[in-house]
Amino acid sequence: MKSTLCWIALGLWIVTIGVAGWFFVQGVTTQGTDGRTQIMLASAERDLILGEMRLLLKAVHGVVTGLASQDQAADRTQMEQAARSAGMHMAEDVNPALMAKLPLPFKQMGMSIHHDMDALADAIANKETSQQILQRLSSMTARCTACHDMYRFGAGQ
């Protein structure tokens, strides 16, 4: 009897881990009408992620504005702060239930952008050239556009 219960418990544990793993990778998605993967979120969750994307765009704008300035040396602090504002600290308090709804590639791209924003801030502080900073931004915005080409948010849940 104990052996049977152990096997049942083990089987349920394996199924639970498998289902949790599948949701971690797949998220809560469906095929969108425009060919992109539609991530199904509650309105408040959607608003939260879109707000974060706007903050990322404002950070990029802050860096580009500093690069366009005639006195870049004076604007380096502002550029560094703009980049740092979108770094990893933005992702610290994300609700695990929300993260579970996001597909793995979306999570990976998002986390890489936050990480790269911190690296960009460090590069600005270390006085990399404008060209090097623009190359970093180009690499980052390429991932942004790729993500927007792949995903959209749908209302649901």
Q: For 80-123, what is each residue's pLDDT tens digit?
A: 999 999 999 988 888 888 899 999 999 999 999 999 999 999 99
Prediction pTM value = 0.81
Compute the half-sphere exposure of residue 113: CA atoms within 13 Å on the CB side of its CA: 26
Residue ranges of domains in the chain, CATH in brackets: 2-155 (1.20.120)
Compute the half-sphere exposure of residue 93: CA atoms within 13 Å on the CB side of its CA: 3
Res 144: pLDDT: 95
Over residues 5-14, the mean pLDDT reads 68
**pLDDT at residue 11 greater than cutoff 80:** no
Q: Which of 9-13, 22-26, 27-31, 88-92 has the lowest mean pLDDT?
A: 22-26
Alpha carbon distance 79, 96 (integer Å): 31
Res 143: pLDDT: 95
Res 4: pLDDT: 80
**pLDDT at residue 157 greater than cutoff 60:** no
Cα angle at 116 between 60 and 107, to 5 degrees?
100
Compute the half-sphere exposure of residue 109: CA atoms within 13 Å on the CB side of its CA: 19
Instruction: Tell me, rounded to whole angstroms, the distance of Cα 5 from its chain centroid.
Output: 42
Mean pLDDT, the chain, rounded, equals: 88
